[in-house]
Structure 1
């Protein structure tokens, strides 16, 4: 399979990965020949990248970070929990949060188990869902990324459980915001942006009223947009005044936000998302957390076409577990010419060659 930009897909190309809606129903089946109408539908849904089938890369297989069954169950659990909480608003009904808290904790533990049991680096590019409500998929993705960072930092099981639950609920305040503003495809006005920013305080005030929710989880909702240099919101606090969990979730939140499919902008590729994080390392984000994330994620995912510093072109075939930015590359082009016998290069052992460009 090869990863390509949807705007570059040719008619009759076969789809490499099944695309689902957020209820787990199949929208486009793997192997189907894409018509012009289907391609336009993908573009209009804001889907920037998909995997396609082709003979040259037929042996490259991409595995999901977590199973489709767990992803669907987790998404539905988050959706039900959010709807339940929105229905009951700010009324103090501890049994509601307690019930949902147990379900969310169970999902967190199962995600941890699957991440620990998966030897591959994290890549959510193959998990393509068309959704009308971004918040549920985003909450799950941020949970997966946050747990991966926490595992890389060797945090305790208790810390991981709290971080995972905090990540799932970090955007809970958005359920109290008008969906028209949240889903607005155009540039937000200053007033609308202030409304969006209020989700941190709304989430904090909602969660802290309930005795069954630990205060650290409420602070994940409150502080995940704070930044080390004080330029974040809602309070503009700095450095050690920001809870460690919120700093960690903030890293995962930014990465997923910029690499996710949205109708109003193209998704960035993982290496571009990491560049944003590294640009803010030290001033905005804890550098050790950014580094831990880099060590966990597939910087250049399988199936991506790349150009090397010596001008050779190839396709990423597999990862080097502890050198996620130096994968194995199948060389398919040299000196601007297709070669008859592609061969593989391990960038971990060829230190004088680097990836300089991605061709999507």
Structure 2
């Protein structure tokens, strides 16, 4: 699966994910073969990119099955859009959604042992919240956090950006640090807005409220809104997952590739982020998601077929072009976990 811009489509491509309207109704179903008239209509409707199947058989492992993710996102959106600053009672429904996500993840076999393909996406806040919730649950399971606290972490994850609903600032796919000082100061208040909307609600735990307030704090005190250094462990878990996901979907920053976001976590381990949490997160996050085109140190171009359970940065790749740029017509699959002298140099945006 890969993300393709609408203007790069020529017709005949197959959707690997459904195309949805702004209120999550299906425009085109997964598996639809794109005709030129479909592409033109999508362009008219302002759809900028879609997910397309690769012709090569790949084995993608995702955090939540596509239908479940859509259902959860639809529920979160419905609940959040009913919310007003003075009435937060309806948000209690998200506590049930959090438990459903936990149960959905725990139903998967070997859930703790898997490496998951996490893709760059659009800056959809509801999808962002679902993904933070899933990643925080997996990180917590890796760290053997008690189940009651995992529930509190997952509820906070779904609500951590509630304060964004009170902002009128454009933060999509741009570095908020480049905003005018007044707008940046307003943006940095969103954890306070979310916390304030929930602080008197009896159905949400004090731990969940604290996570929402602290989810942008950093170990070195450079975070916001409190510039705190004494940060609860559970808030640090959400912070790592949130920082990673913001980077790959462009919330408050320029959208980056997955491997760049992972490099950011590694570089800032024990500086901005708790090293134990980063290590747990990196055990299940694939550096090069299935379907990525990559260049090896031998100057061959390949596509990632599937992940290696014990080596998230050393997947199986199928070589497509040799070191001279010639297309390879027969199957050459390399397991980078057992070939010590071959490694991925970089991700390639696309190949023709």
TM bucket, shorter chain: 0.7 to 0.9
Distance 1:327 1:137 in 2: 26
Cα-to-partner distance string for 1:209-237 (whole Å, 9 max, x where unaligned):
12222111111111111100010111111
Gaps of 5+ in 1: none
Give the corresponding residue for 2:27.
27
1:34/1:357 CA distance change after superposition, 3 Å:
farther
In the superposition, relative to structure 1, how do residues 340 and 67 fare at CA in structure 2: closer, same or farther (>3 Å)?
A: closer
Q: Please give the TM-score of this superposition, normalised by the length of structure 1.
A: 0.83
What are the residue-to-residue correspondences of 1:222-241 with 2, within 5 Å? Answer: 222-238=213-229, 241=230
Aligned to 1:189: 180
**One of 157, 175, 193 as aligned partner of 2:165:** 175
Going from structure 1 to structure 2, the CA distance change for 1:184 and 1:309 (only over 3 Å counts) comes to closer
Partner of 2:285: 297
Instruction: Name the residue aligned to 2:83.
Output: 85
Alignment partner, residue 247 of structure 1: 236
1:11-63 per-position Cα deviation (integer Å, ceiling 9, x unaligned): 1250341333254433344342364983883996454x733443xx1x22535
Q: Distance in 2 between matches of 1:8 and 1:308?
A: 28
1:269 aligns with 2:257: yes
Distance in structure 1 (CA, Å) of the matches to 2:293 and 2:45? 20
TM-score (norm: length of structure 2):
0.85
Q: Secondary structure at the match of 2:338?
A: coil
- SS, match of residue 249 in structure 1: helix
For the residue of structure 2 that corresponds to 1:155, the secondary structure is coil
CA distance in 2, matches of 1:237, 1:42: 47
Unaligned runs of at least 5 residues, structure 2: none
Rounded to whole Å, the distance in 1 between the matches of 2:110 and 2:277 is 22
Q: Tell me the secondary structure at the aligned position of residue 285 of structure 1.
A: coil
Does residue 104 of the first structure (1) align with residue 93 of the second (2)?
Answer: no
C-alpha distance in structure 2 between counterparts of 1:9 and 1:289, whole Å:
39
Q: Give the equivalent residue in structure 1 for 2:43.
A: 41
Output the CA distance in 2 between the equivalents of 1:158 and 1:20: 36
For 1:332, which of 320, 324, 330 is the aligned residue? 320
Is 1:3 the counterpart of 2:16? The answer is no
Q: Distance in 1 between matches of 2:141 and 2:239?
A: 16
Question: Is the contact made by 1:115 and 1:148 (CA closer than 8 Å) also made in structure 2?
Answer: no
Aligned length: 342
Name the CA shift for 1:297/1:42 in 2 (closer, same or farther; >3 Å).
farther
Match of 1:221 in 2: 212
Residue deviations 1:128-164 (CA, integer Å, cap 9, x gap): 7x7xx82211111111111121122222212211111
Following the alignment from structure 1 to structure 2, what is the Cα–Cα distance between the partners of residues 181 and 306? 33
Aligned to 2:333: 344
Q: Which residue of 1 is the match for residue 73 of structure 2?
A: 75
Equivalent of 1:257, from 246, 249, 258? Answer: 246
Does 1:123 find its partner at 2:117? yes
Output the aligned Cα RMSD.
3.1
Deviation at 1:102, TM superposition (A): 3.9
Distance 1:116 1:195 in 2: 44
When residues 43 and 232 of structure 1 are mapped into structure 2, their CA distance, relative to the original with a 3 A threshold, is farther
Structure 2 contact 17–51 (Cα < 8 Å) conserved: no
Q: Is the 8 A contact 1:46 1:261 kept in 2?
A: no
Q: 1:335 to 1:300 in 2, by over 3 A?
A: same
